[in-house]
Structure 1
């Protein structure tokens, strides 16, 4: 429980979760701003240089911030290398990565990763300039850039649109922070490995020798309950870090109650605390003698607190208060007690007063306030003039009827699910605003034209504003707007002036049931990547000149009952994903095979579609459930030629409930699966050498027989197969499975999973091996989530899940253990509900088959 002796703070001591390194002139007003907002929404403590005070020497502060961050994101943009400050940051980040294991994520934003790695192009030009003034530093800068660019990262030219890129980076950061947290905590003395000692220490209290303790950490998910002595902390005068935490809190409701009981109260908490995190703090108030003058962060989610401190208190070092879901809290923090607060999070504090007090404007350094789901709040101060206020979240304040007047510093506003009826004209003065979220504001009827004057605005999300009939005219270019979401609005027509959104990459118009057409000017949006039109039931046609949309990667036009599929759809040369589900057309454009980038095609519930023409060569996913008239399919074997890139591609073809498919089509589906499995076998060495996840094949079609090339077949839901000695010298790749599923009544829900469990036995029948059982599962969609689909035929499921058969696992199977090599496997199959894996009574596995896959060549085996 002592503090780390490392020169760099241990991960649990770090002030920040993430440090953002970026070139301001390139990305501050767009990508970096959006990424920062997304990180804040996930409660990821992020350092961005706007937090520095005026007059402070920037370099030492930045270097200290890097040292005190668990992870760093480096946004390489075209002018990044021209800034000595950016390059100094880069060197420090790489040092922290190498010396202390700091997680580093490079982002290549509109630059070629190879230019960064090799310092060519604009990066070569920048370093040529530096070598004149910074000759010695240049070598260090180049070395650091090469090391950083060699790390796994994100390329904005590959992952599009930017909204998806931001989401993926945030997920990556969350994953790496979880790894850092786990490894950091394991290094500390007296953590999870000594839970019983921690519980004993706290249940007795006042023990000699506890004065030296500086940190206590307890993962409460690993205990059922513990009782704390009221004097538990009486002798811990040097305790600086106290963390009683619950991983994944809020995901499982039963984990949100307090597990640390204080039936006799608590007489004291150490005044030297700098960091206090107590999930489910059980008392209504703090001990009266608790005066933590050095406290920096106070995090008490799901606490029973009614108020913070009753008396005046000097908390000048306190920067963050998080009392999320403290449902008994009745007061807002007081500025006189904590004048230097930077962040306030009171999400789900449903007992707060109806009015947010005007005193909130006295938190002069406040950058963010989150009052999400504080359902009692009816009003926010009419004017909030805070110089550094960056983010305000009032989502879920369902009684808040007035859009507040914010200071011009504001960059992110979230009023989702509020009761606002209008956005004030003054919103046009928020010239730094980057994101405006007002989703599901069902009383909102209009937007002011001044909103289109906001040059920094990157995202407008009006989804679910069901009374909004019109989007204002855009009289001048909005160069930074890249995402406009109007799903579920009453929009009847888009203004032709939408062409002024020059950088728009995502336009969402799903379920705009009054939208009858799109302006021809839409196709001047040459940066458009996502176009979502699903559920626009009055939409009859797409505008002409589709070829202008040279970057369009995703088109969703499902449930557009009147929509005619234009012949020039095939001119969308960058299209990767196409959703035409639930439409009434009878044929597809014959030239669809020219969509060379297309990997995903959804034609589900196109009940009039009779045939599929030749398909694009790189198609990986076909969703075609309930195509009840579909009879013929062009050759699917053309979709997976024996090429290197096909070693790594999946196949997911769902022809559920396509009962009219002719025998040639069924034979073609089966042949495709066989060819795909052969390609996987040929690529086995690549997966191992490059440490890549093995791909998968998932096929579903109406039928009652297992293909004859499955050598192991059995009637029923289980099968036993023999494994050749020593797994054919380590070439074993796992099992391909095939099942015939019978539906005992005529209906199934939205879908089901087929799952198998494999158990391995040894040669001398000594019982179950020490190897863990192998599980694999495969989800089969049967219809929309809200629908119950009729299923009147047996179906064949053919699948291989490569991710379940990694190199280490298959090597264990193939090991020669003397008299104990694995020579037999029993596989049991069952149909289950997705996610919960409960058996489905209406589905029965009637037959099963297994194919043993080996690297490079097929191995002939036989059954008993």
Structure 2
């Protein structure tokens, strides 16, 4: 069989087809044989086929036949021995090929018992036929000959190479089905992002002729996400591969209006092609119907299922479809798919679930602007406001379609801005109706929980939310699970522990919840149950308009500037259960501000808080006390960080249900609140409460207390005994000198933090009793040594002793801590000797000995088997890299090591060659050492990504560097003269290059001209080669290409063709620049005077201008933004970077003909007089912009200039050739 692919023009999306296939054949040759078999096979596959049964034909082809050809998507031409003798057939063929040229019709030739060369060159029987045609049809002969020649060159089938006609029929039908499947992708106009989802769904369906199992795939997701659309597209693509198929639409809606039996009859009658089929009982009953269904390989789609009975009736255990059958179910309710799994548990029937996901941002933008006219797209404000709408839709296709249509109707900027505001206040009714269906299907318990989450608990910790909802008399565990199954909420994980999982809800669903709340009293928010919009809340609280119906108030402080509360603000809200004031960062995540809140609270007194309150979160509370009438008996959580509280409440309070209290950074607090009756308290946070001097003794009786955080309570000197269930105890920066003896017996204590407790001088021998201790933080204490009994802490993972000036040594038994992952002795200036590692420490990954005084690592250091990071910065006595860690003797043992940091080890003068044999070494920092050169073996380091040479004052040259290196900091290497082999490294490593690279040669004042040229030309070559490589890989989602280089000097390279003195430049864009596939982007280069700044960067903005006077601004603020660190000489420096312009290769920028660039530079330096950092504006002396192309033609002088550095001429030539090939392949 020949290849089944043939090139053809793209079909017009608007072209409609009446037939799938047109059969062209000579009746006398094949009508009753091959053609009849092929036609029957196509019909069985549900492929609509046109076949002309006229036995007698005239000389002129009938108009109806020409029309049938034009209305067919594909033509099969059966070229038999006497095909050319029929002028009718030849006219058909000529017209078929015309349709191929005009509409992209697919054409498949079948050479039936004839040599294709006879057709191509009109030999044998074809030659004889044309002898007769030459006499009668001279004006048509040439057209017919051309048609036959063209047809013979198309990919098709030669029957002589296929044994049986039945096999030939099977191959042809299979090829047609495959072509139609591929063609479906061209019929997906308007279905943005669906191709990848089709692939995922078809992969789950496992369409395989050898697969005899029945398989169900459930498409589960929220309303409007595109479940039905996806199911429909896949159904259309695959239905021809099954003996029978049926798409049963709107099951939920139709189940309400008709009996389920009628839907079952509709499904079965279509699958069995039996219109008389009627089953009126719950049981199928008829054994014959069951047998017929069990023999049929079917494809069934059940759309919008929402009830168990629907599945039991339509595809339950009584319904057995034939081997290889596939069922697709779309639903919003995960429970239905679990029911399906249960119905077929143990049977030869698989059930899998596919979660329908929202569109990503790029797909959403494309869909939103799909039907925009060119004129509309050119407006900058239109694009910006459109982006805001797209962000609001959060990837829901239905919302994007509806809002996109409405947005296009707006005639002015004012209308569009008004439309955006209206969306948030009055959501589109069509969308609300979609989500209301799911809400209406909920029970009373689930509806209440849904509204609480929509109006209050979205973003809250799951565990705590369940507690609070249970306290309201609801059944949170089962209710939340049902809401998840119904696609109304989800649970997100922050990735650390199970306790950090939080409730989440799509904004559109949340708005539906808000709308339901508004329906209670549209004009009187004080009579609603849950308040969550700032305007409504401010109105109710400031005007004292609350009522007993209000149960929750959730106020986003970032959306208001002031709040004027009267003393009676909460007087009428006597049933209020939840009160939350919170902040929201730019990414939409919640936080509870205690420092950076700009809201002015005009509150001089508060007479009343409802006793019904379960939860209070009120950061920056401005009063000294809570209302004296307030009873905290129902309170489960109180959070008032940054408050002005002096005393929380009187001793008469009985907050028995209180589980968590957070009064952190309440600096006026003079005593710990009376919590003696809080027998259920679990967490107490009093961090930063500098007025506290002691922890009450009754804390010992709070048996459920697991976490106490009093770090930063600088006057706290007395800590009482703690309950035995303590898990976390944070006492950092307190005045505590001794811990109660009972603390050292707490078997459940996991975290003990004594950071900055200078009064702590030793640890007791009984520390071994802390069996569960995982984190031990002793940084900044006055301890001199650890007790040998520490070896009993078998679960200890993190030991931090940073800045312990008096700490002298670790006990020799440290190697017995087998779980230890991190030891940090950074800044332990008295630490001189590391104990010998007598036993393997398989899990120790990070060892930080920076700032210590030891000269060498201990013997048997290779026993630290698992270590990934060795940090030795500032070890000025450290003389050499220990041989014990170097390959080959320990290459296997030390292979996990990925980071080696020797910063400021001023005695180190040489890096051993063999260190680069560490096969996982990814980062090497030897900055501030006395090395003069790097060994040439560095280019053999297979994974080295970061190399820091900063302030290596004796370094004179760089060898050929590894090709994966993406971070190189050689700043302040004032003797560095030569830089070799950059372009060679790029040539060798292109296939594995990373897209983000920064090379810094700041203040390298001795660099020669060849070195500077080599550095800058490498920048240009890398930009071109990497982008060409990425484009060749056809990865639309590849990361944005970034290359930045900083280098001392003041001469912009010649390949940056457009140059100008000063900080701005105006250039003309190439004609149709955005459509040129070879145009990779722009290279920028500026000369900046850096003035000894210790941190500096560059950026800029561009203004794209069209011929009609419009302008559109594009910021370059992120480029070259990584700082230049370390004092340097006053000198000019080159900063170069690249931008692929991916973000501006769409409207409104594409119509621009000119673009102006404004560059800026800034930094920070230390003001010795003011003793603080201050901002410095730096001067951009010269700037340049160059066009970067993938191919070699000299456009605007962008070709690479001659490079004189070692080995660079051949490298540049080979690289030019290489990326030219990449861009063409």
2:1121 is the alignment partner of 1:779: yes
Q: 8 Å contact 2:1098–2:1119 — kept in the other structure?
A: yes
2:942 is the alignment partner of 1:596: yes
Q: Deviation string for 1:262-306 (max 9, x for gaps)? A: 12x112112222221111111111112222433221100111112
Q: 8 Å contact 2:676–2:698 — kept in the other structure?
A: no
Q: 8 Å contact 2:1097–2:1163 — kept in the other structure?
A: yes
Unaligned ranges ≥5, structure 1: 21-44, 52-62, 69-91, 106-168, 816-820
Q: CA deviation at 1:374?
A: 0.6
Distance in 2, Cα, partners of 1:464 & 1:496: 22
Secondary structure in 2 matching 1:303: coil
- Computed over aligned residues only, the root mean square deviation of the Cα atoms, in angstroms, reads 3.8
For 1:324, the equivalent position in structure 2 comes to 664
Secondary structure in 1 matching 2:535: helix
Q: Cα distance 1:427–1:500, how it changes in 2: closer, same or farther (>3 A)?
A: farther
Q: 8 Å contact 1:648–1:694 — kept in the other structure?
A: no
Q: Cα distance 1:701–1:251, how it changes in 2: closer, same or farther (>3 A)?
A: farther
2:437 is the alignment partner of 1:101: no
Q: Cα distance 1:799–1:374, how it changes in 2: closer, same or farther (>3 A)?
A: same
Distance in 2, Cα, partners of 1:94 & 1:621: 47
For 2:768, the equivalent position in structure 1 comes to 428
Q: CA deviation at 1:509?
A: 0.5
Distance in 2, Cα, partners of 1:524 & 1:66: 51
2:653 is the alignment partner of 1:313: yes
Q: 8 Å contact 1:345–1:371 — kept in the other structure?
A: yes
Distance in 2, Cα, partners of 1:9 & 1:594: 60
Q: CA deviation at 1:860?
A: 3.9
Q: 8 Å contact 2:582–2:593 — kept in the other structure?
A: no
For 1:811, the equivalent position in structure 2 comes to 1146
Q: 8 Å contact 2:462–2:503 — kept in the other structure?
A: no
Q: Deviation string for 1:426-464 (max 9, x for gaps)? A: 1111111001011112x2222111112210000000000
For 1:244, the equivalent position in structure 2 comes to 581
- How many correspondences in the alignment? 711
Q: CA deviation at 1:692?
A: 4.3
Secondary structure in 2 matching 1:641: helix
Secondary structure in 2 matching 1:639: helix
Q: 8 Å contact 1:720–1:824 — kept in the other structure?
A: yes
For 2:1109, the equivalent position in structure 1 comes to 765
2:1162 is the alignment partner of 1:832: yes
Q: Cα distance 1:833–1:561, how it changes in 2: closer, same or farther (>3 A)?
A: same
Matching of residues 685-834 of structure 1 within 5 Å:
685=1031, 689=1035, 691-724=1037-1070, 727-729=1073-1075, 735-743=1082-1090, 747-766=1091-1110, 768-769=1111-1112, 773=1115, 775-779=1117-1121, 781-784=1123-1126, 788-791=1127-1130, 793-800=1131-1138, 807=1143, 809-815=1144-1150, 821-833=1151-1163
Q: 8 Å contact 1:478–1:502 — kept in the other structure?
A: no
Q: Cα distance 1:618–1:720, how it changes in 2: closer, same or farther (>3 A)?
A: same
For 1:203, the equivalent position in structure 2 comes to 542
Distance in 2, Cα, partners of 1:295 & 1:541: 62
For 2:521, the equivalent position in structure 1 comes to none
Among candidates 822, 828, 847, match of residue 1182 of structure 2? 847
Secondary structure in 1 matching 2:1159: strand
Q: Deviation string for 1:554-613 (max 9, x for gaps)? A: 000011111242232122221000000011121212211121110000111111111112
Distance in 2, Cα, partners of 1:468 & 1:65: 51
Range with bigger deviation, 684-693 or 265-274: 684-693
For 1:261, the equivalent position in structure 2 comes to 602
Distance in 1, Cα, partners of 2:482 & 2:1051: 59
Give the number of the structure with larger relative contact order, counting CA–CA contacts within 8 Å between residues 6 or more apart.
Answer: 1
Q: CA deviation at 1:307?
A: 1.9
Q: Deviation string for 1:40-63 (max 9, x for gaps)? A: xxxxx899xxx9xxxxxxxxxxx9
For 1:395, the equivalent position in structure 2 comes to 732
For 1:446, the equivalent position in structure 2 comes to 785
Q: Cα distance 1:773–1:654, how it changes in 2: closer, same or farther (>3 A)?
A: closer
Q: Which of these two proteins has the greater Rg computed from alpha carbons?
A: 2
Report which of the two has the higher share of helix: 2
Distance in 1, Cα, partners of 2:1189 & 2:460: 44
Distance in 2, Cα, partners of 1:759 & 1:458: 54
Q: 8 Å contact 1:738–1:796 — kept in the other structure?
A: yes
Among candidates 440, 453, 459, match of residue 10 of structure 1? 453
Q: 8 Å contact 1:720–1:825 — kept in the other structure?
A: yes
For 2:717, the equivalent position in structure 1 comes to 378
Distance in 2, Cα, partners of 1:759 & 1:838: 30
Q: Deviation string for 1:16-45 (max 9, x for gaps)? A: 95679xxxxxxxxxxxxxxxxxxxxxxxx8
For 1:232, the equivalent position in structure 2 comes to 569
2:686 is the alignment partner of 1:342: no
Q: 8 Å contact 2:456–2:552 — kept in the other structure?
A: no
Q: Deviation string for 1:369-394 (max 9, x for gaps)? A: 1001011101212x4242x2100001
Distance in 2, Cα, partners of 1:251 & 1:777: 33
Q: 8 Å contact 2:619–2:643 — kept in the other structure?
A: yes
Q: 8 Å contact 1:461–1:485 — kept in the other structure?
A: yes
For 1:128, the equivalent position in structure 2 comes to none
Q: 8 Å contact 1:19–1:65 — kept in the other structure?
A: no
Q: Cα distance 1:649–1:413, how it changes in 2: closer, same or farther (>3 A)?
A: same
Task: Give the TM-score of the pair, scaled to structure 2.
Answer: 0.54
Among candidates 494, 507, 517, match of residue 856 of structure 2? 517
Q: 8 Å contact 1:779–1:834 — kept in the other structure?
A: no
For 2:184, the equivalent position in structure 1 comes to none
Q: Deviation string for 1:505-545 (max 9, x for gaps)? A: 00000111x21211131122121101000100001123224
Q: 8 Å contact 2:966–2:994 — kept in the other structure?
A: no
Q: Cα distance 1:685–1:714, how it changes in 2: closer, same or farther (>3 A)?
A: same
Distance in 2, Cα, partners of 1:661 & 1:609: 11
For 2:1220, the equivalent position in structure 1 comes to none
Distance in 1, Cα, partners of 2:945 & 2:687: 40
For 2:904, the equivalent position in structure 1 comes to 559
Distance in 1, Cα, partners of 2:486 & 2:1028: 37
Q: Deviation string for 1:685-739 (max 9, x for gaps)? A: 5899553431311101122221122232211100122334565238676543110
Q: 8 Å contact 2:1024–2:1190 — kept in the other structure?
A: no
Among candidates 610, 625, 639, match of residue 985 of structure 2? 639
Range with bigger deviation, 596-605 or 643-652: 643-652
Distance in 2, Cα, partners of 1:95 & 1:559: 55
Among candidates 619, 622, 626, match of residue 965 of structure 2? 619
Q: Deviation string for 1:83-114 (max 9, x for gaps)? A: xxxxxxxxx79956955232257xxxxxxxxx
Among candidates 414, 432, 447, match of residue 753 of structure 2? 414
Unaligned ranges ≥5, structure 2: 1-424, 426-438, 440-445, 468-474, 515-524, 1166-1171, 1199-1225
Q: Cα distance 1:301–1:780, how it changes in 2: closer, same or farther (>3 A)?
A: closer
For 2:806, the equivalent position in structure 1 comes to 467
Q: Cα distance 1:410–1:252, how it changes in 2: closer, same or farther (>3 A)?
A: closer
Secondary structure in 2 matching 1:778: coil
Secondary structure in 2 matching 1:651: strand
Q: Cα distance 1:861–1:268, how it changes in 2: closer, same or farther (>3 A)?
A: farther
For 2:1012, the equivalent position in structure 1 comes to 666
Distance in 2, Cα, partners of 1:251 & 1:498: 49
Q: 8 Å contact 2:1063–2:1182 — kept in the other structure?
A: yes
